Amino acid sequence: RALLDLCKQPDALTHPDGMQIRITRQELGRIAGCSREMVGRVLKNLEEETLISVSGKTIVVFGAR
């Protein structure tokens, strides 16, 4: 949910496959109300389900516009 909200922010960039955001796991944890370790686990799960792509601080949310 937090990722989709961030995709609507003005600093999110369009990407051929969806929306691209740059955020640290710590910042994302602060927004979502969980630890950065939990954020890492959730991002990994979402990436395994091919819903997102993660490379460092850059996250591409597929299908989001």
Token digits for 14? Answer: 């369009």
List the CATH number of the domain containing 26: 1.10.10.10
Q: Where are the alpha helices (DSSP H) in 1-65?
A: 2-7, 25-32, 36-48
pLDDT at 1 over 90: no
Task: Please state, as a whole number, how many other Cβ atoms lie within 10 Å of the Cβ of residue 60.
Answer: 20
pLDDT above 80 (res 63): yes
- Give tens-digit pLDDT for 8-31: 999 999 999 999 999 999 999 999
Angle between helices 36-48 and 25-32 (to 10 degrees): 100
Count of domains for the chain? 1
Phi first, then psi: what are they for 20, rounded to 5°? -115, 130
Q: How far apart are CA 49 and CA 31, in angstroms?
A: 22
Residue 16 dihedral angles phi and psi, to the nearest 5°:
-55, -30
Range of the domain at 20: 2-62
